[in-house]
Structures are given as structure tokens and as C-alpha cells.
Amino acid sequence: MEWGLLVASLATVVVILAVLYRPLGDYMAWVFTTARDVAVERGLYRLIGVDPRSEQTWQAYLRSVLIFSFVGVVFLYLIQRTQQFLPYSLGLPPVPEGLAFNTAISFVTNTNWQGYSPELTMSYTTQFAGLAVQNFVSAATGIAVAVALVRGFAYRRSGTIGNFWVDLTRATFRILLPLSIVAAIILLAGGVIQNFAGFTTVDTIAGGSQVLPGGPVASQEAIKEIGTNGGGFFNANASHPFENPTAWTSILQVVLLLMIPFSLPRTFGRIVGDNRQGYAILAAMGVLALISFVALGAAEFAGRGTAPELAGSPMEGKEQRFGLVQSILYATATTLTSTGSVNSMHDSYTALGGMMPMINMMLGEIAPGGVGAGLYGMLIIAVIAVFIAGLLVGRTPEYLGKKIGPREIKLASLYILVMPILLLGGVALSFAIPGVRDDMEKTSIWNPGLHGLSEVVYAFASASNNNGSAFAGLTANTPWLNAALGVAMLLGRFLPIALTIALAGSLAAQDKVPVTAGTLPTHRPLFIGLIIGTAVLVTALVFFPVLTLGPLAEGLM
């Protein structure tokens, strides 16, 4: 019965995504290759003084990304610190410094880790003009970086990789905004609220009284999923009935958050002029996602571990309204992308089940990953797979006609180093520094032993991969965690971006090697298998020892 439901839910999502793959992917490819600007964009370019026809070198592109994001962090920090003076303050005080710092980084890095209860901390203005704006532009930044890398593959002997300001503008106004408007309207129809009503006190049937929060939820909900942001309007995120009222909105939200990441391979194939390459990347993403989904399903249906045994059934912490399957589907989708919005508490999953969202993130969020970030992450893995495969067939490795030489491998290798070091280093430091450890044990960790360790590992996996979901059971609003997770988010976002853009520059400068019978085809099942193998071996496997100490030891108990 449960398996049947699982397959049915999955099939629904897959069919919708399959229908969207070509039109959405082709549309995005057009957006980033067309020479025409619309009036609004032209006005905007004049305003910021950008010539939309002039392309940037990779250094200039990177500089633009960093400046834009830095300004974003500063602006977001200031708006939180001054929210009491701004309209719709709801009477809330300024957000504390550490938390404001952490949140500013969190939203600019597309992580949307929330170390606070939004409805009790953020005013409408902060949510609307601060956080929601970053929901758009941080997602657009990710797409822009991915497109820059794709151009690196497509361009020949070019010193430039596109114009960040144009990519950012187009991603925002031509992709994210229209999709969000449509999605918001559908969500409204599904019962998601959209008002500026503040808190309403109502009398319940039982005779008590309850304070109901209101707010512009639907508009934020749409971009939260579409931009794989994940920062909810309410603390309970998508398990809050005002955010996610019905079973079908739950499935819709899964579709929304998977839609762009799963269509971007098409954009990639389109721009490099070989749709089969897009299908290959899509297949690698799809297989990894499917394995993860089935594994989580199996773990949950088997129902072992501390929490379910205490609760008597694996339903504790799950989405009670829609059943276990919707929780599994949502959890897999949200951690495979960099969304991090939840409709169930991953902390409450069976030990082995709770390990799956962790592994999803530890893979580097590449199946399909965050908007843009997933594609460039997967392409980096493909570059490494191509390198090994190229040696295996006796040719200097090449991917899409671009030689993968020392410089490319250096950038790709550094890329795959960043996340494991941030994750493992963060967790290790949390326990290695005596004062910090004390604070972790006394304040942050609610559950002792293995499960507590899993909570910390999860937090750092989430931060260094810019996921933003929490395992729950961990108080992250402490000086150490605010700072450490903030740094992990910052470096976990911008180091890979810098390396990706540098790689794009290095690839764009190359000529294309013509395809011969000696060229390794990169669209066949064999190569797709190799990408998957590489992803598992060089990323997830690194975390085997840590997982053994956390969820594995707990789950095998």
C-alpha cells in the first residue's frame, strides 16, 4: 500500500517534470542566448550603467557576482537591524546582531537557514523587501553562474563568458518572476494565505483563544520553492497549514522546487548544441535522486531507530495530514535540491532514514541540486569523470571538445575539496574547542549521543551545501553556531562559485577539439554510470566514517 502510494506520487511528479523539461529548458536557453532586451531591462541597464552587449571576462564576471552578493548581505543586515523603524514592523524589535549576520548570509547564499522563528522575529518589510528579494536574486545568481559555465563549454577561443548583470536581470525577470506569479496564484487557489493582517486572535471551538499569524505568504512560498530557497514564512515551514494547506499543494511544491534544476540540463544541452549531453546529465541526476528516494522510503517503511521506537510508529514528526509518503517525497526533494524547506522534521525520521537527507546534501546537492548550483556542481563531477574516463581510453581527456588539462583539473579538484572540509572541519571544531564544546553540549544539542551528533553533522551539511534545512533538535541561535554556520554558508557558496567561473573562463578560452571515433562519447549509459560512480566515490564516500558515528551506528543498534 505504502509502496504503491510512493510510486504513484513519484510518477505524478516525474510526469509533470518530464512535460516541463523541454519547453522550460529551451525557454531558459533562449533567455540566455537572445540578443534582444525588453524595455524594463533596458531601463534597468541604463540605471546601473551596464552595456548589455558587452561581455565580461571571467574575472569581471566573478567580481560582479561577489560585489552584488556583498551589497546584498550588507543591505539585508541593515534592514533587519532597523526593522522597528520601517513600515509593517508588527512591533518587533531589531533582529540581534549575530542572528542578523547569520540570516543575511543565509539568504544571500541561497541557503535560507533560519536560526529563528520567522513570524516572531521578522517584520513584513524584512520578509518582503529583504528576504523575498534575496529569494529571487540569490537564485538568479546561481542560474547565472551555471549559464556562465555552460557558455565556457559552448564558446570557442573567447576571452569572455557573458555578462553577469544581464544574466542576473534575465534570470530574475524572465524566469523566476513569471513562474512565481503563476505559482503564487495556484497556491492561493490551493488555500495558501496572502494578506497583511498581522496577528489575529480567534476563539476556538473548545473555548480557548489562539493567535493566528497572517502575512504575504503565497508570494513568498512560490519563490521559496522555485528558487530552491526554502526559507519559510513560518517556523514550521511547509508543514504549516497556511504555507502548505493540502496534499496537492504539497506535491505542487515538490514540483516547483524540482522544476528549474531538472530543466537546466536541457538548457545546457541546448546552448552547447547537443541535447543528448543534457539528457546524460539529467539521467545522472535522475538516477541518483531515484536511488535516494527509494532508500528513504525503504528506511522509513522499515521503521527502525530511536525516535519511531519511542513513538511507537514512524509517524512522529511527519506530515500527519498527508501521510508518510508525502513527507518522504518532500524530504528527498528538498535535500537533493538546495531548498531546505520541509514539511516534516528530518530529526524524527528513522536513524537510517534521517541519514538519507544527509547523504543527499553530502553528495554536493547535484541531483538535481539548487537552481544553477546543481547544474554546475554536476558538471564539475562530470569533468572529473571525463578526466578518469579519458585516461582510460588513452586520450587527453576532453568534455564537449574542451581539453581537461592541469588547470581545469585543479579548479575542479579544489571545488570538490571545499564542501567536505567545511563540513567535517565545522563539526570537528564544534567538539574540539573546549569552550565551544561545552556550549554545544549544554545549549545547542537537545539529544545526547549519536542522535545529537547527527544533528550537528546535519547542520553543517546543510550550511556548507547551502541547503538550509535543519534536522531540528538543535538550537543554532548561539554565537558559535551563528558564526560557524555563517562562515560555512559563505565559503560553501562563494568558493565553489569562484572556482566554477574560473573554470568557465579557462574552458571558453580553448578551441574545440573535433569529435572522432577516438573521442569518448559523453552521452552513453556507460558514461552516465561513471558520473554517478564518481559522485558517490569522491563525495559521499568521504563521509562514510562520520555517518558511521551518527545515523549508521544509531540505525544498526
For residue 401, is it left (φ>0), alpha (ψ between -120 and 50) or beta? left
The three-state secondary structure class of 122 is coil
Residue 78 or residue 393: which is nearer to another protein going by CB?
393
- Is position 546 an interface residue for another protein (rule: CB under 8 A)? yes
Q: Which stretch binds another protein (CB under 8 A): 26-34, 94-102, 120-128, 542-550?
A: 542-550
Q: Which of 199, 431, 438, 479 binds another protein (CB under 8 A)?
A: 431
Cβ atoms of 332 and 296 within 8 Å: the answer is: yes
**Min. distance of Cβ 441 from another protein in angstroms?**
8
- Is position 394 an interface residue for another protein (rule: CB under 8 A)? yes
CA–CA separation, 538 and 541 (whole Å):
6
Q: Which of 302, 315, 410, 443 binds another protein (CB under 8 A)?
A: 410
Q: Which of 252, 389, 508, 535 binds another protein (CB under 8 A)?
A: 389
- Is position 181 an interface residue for another protein (rule: CB under 8 A)? no
The alpha carbon torsion through 264, 65, 486, 423 (nearest 10 deg) reads 50
Reported in sequence order, the residue ranges of 156-289 that DSSP labels E, i.e. its strands, are: 199-203, 209-213
The alpha carbon torsion through 509, 511, 517, 519 (nearest 10 deg) reads -10
Nearest C-alpha neighbor of 536 from the set 396, 364, 373: 364
**Min. distance of Cβ 549 from another protein in angstroms?**
6
Q: Which stretch binds another protein (CB under 8 A): 242-250, 336-344, 372-380, 412-420?
A: 412-420
**Min. distance of Cβ 301 from another protein in angstroms?**
19
Binding mask 336-375 for another protein (x = CB under 8 A): ----------------------------------------
Nearest C-alpha neighbor of 103 from the set 83, 131, 123: 131
**Min. distance of Cβ 10 from another protein in angstroms?**
28
Burial 421-449, CB ≥16 within 10 A → b, else e? ebbbbbbeebeeeeebeebbeeebbebee
Q: Which stretch binds another protein (CB under 8 A): 14-22, 100-108, 121-129, 399-407?
A: 399-407
- Is position 452 an interface residue for another protein (rule: CB under 8 A)? yes
Q: Which of 421, 472, 487, 491 binds another protein (CB under 8 A)?
A: 421
Upper half-sphere CA count for residue 352 (Cβ side, 13 Å): 16
Pairing outcome for strands 402-403 and 209-213: unpaired
Q: Which three cell numbers stand for residue 66?
A: 561577489
Neighbours of 376 (CB within 10 A): 30
Vertex 329 angle, CA 327 and 332, to 5°: 105
Q: Which of 17, 50, 453, 531 binds another protein (CB under 8 A)?
A: 453
**Min. distance of Cβ 159 from another protein in angstroms?**
18
**Min. distance of Cβ 251 from another protein in angstroms?**
36
CA–CA separation, 64 and 61 (whole Å):
5
- Is position 417 an interface residue for another protein (rule: CB under 8 A)? yes
Q: Which of 184, 255, 461, 530 binds another protein (CB under 8 A)?
A: 530
Q: Which residues bind another protein (CB under 8 A)?
A: 384, 387-397, 401, 404-406, 408-410, 413-414, 416-417, 420-421, 424-425, 427-429, 431-432, 437, 449-450, 452-453, 456-457, 511-514, 516-521, 524, 526-527, 530, 533, 537-538, 541-542, 544-546, 548-550, 552-553, 556-557
